[in-house]
Amino acid sequence: MQRDRNETELMLRGYGLTTAELFYRLPDHRSVLNSFIWQEYDLAPDHPRLFGFIAFWQKNIEGPLHSVRFTHRKLISAGEWRHVTHEITLH
């Protein structure tokens, strides 16, 4: 799926870099919070990759989630991309 495309292609298709910090409780020490950083190219506003990862965590990871905070940044859009065929350097 996404892994077959390079980052520039993803950005041109509207994907942006999503970074999430997941706070979770340790399975053996429920009063201790730990954090995990997750980063992937995703589509706003639905964030299917992020919410898919959260669903995976809740189903397969023993440490229950406490909270999640995330940010999304589009690094490039189709209107900002230009194909350059020549470059001239002036001194």
The answer to whether position 86 is within a domain reads no
What DSSP element (H or E) covers 65?
strand 65-73
| pLDDT at residue number 48 | 96
State the Cα–Cα distance between residues 65 and 25, nearest whole angstrom: 6
pTM: 0.74
Give me the domain span that covers residue 56: 2-80
Taking phi over 0 as left and psi of -120 to 50 as alpha, with beta for the rest, 61 belongs to beta
Q: Sheet containing 33-42: give its strands across.
A: 33-42, 16-25, 65-73
Q: How many domains does the chain have?
A: 1
Q: Is 31 part of any domain?
A: yes
Ranges of residues in the chain with a pLDDT under 50 are 1-2
Residue 70: what pLDDT? 94
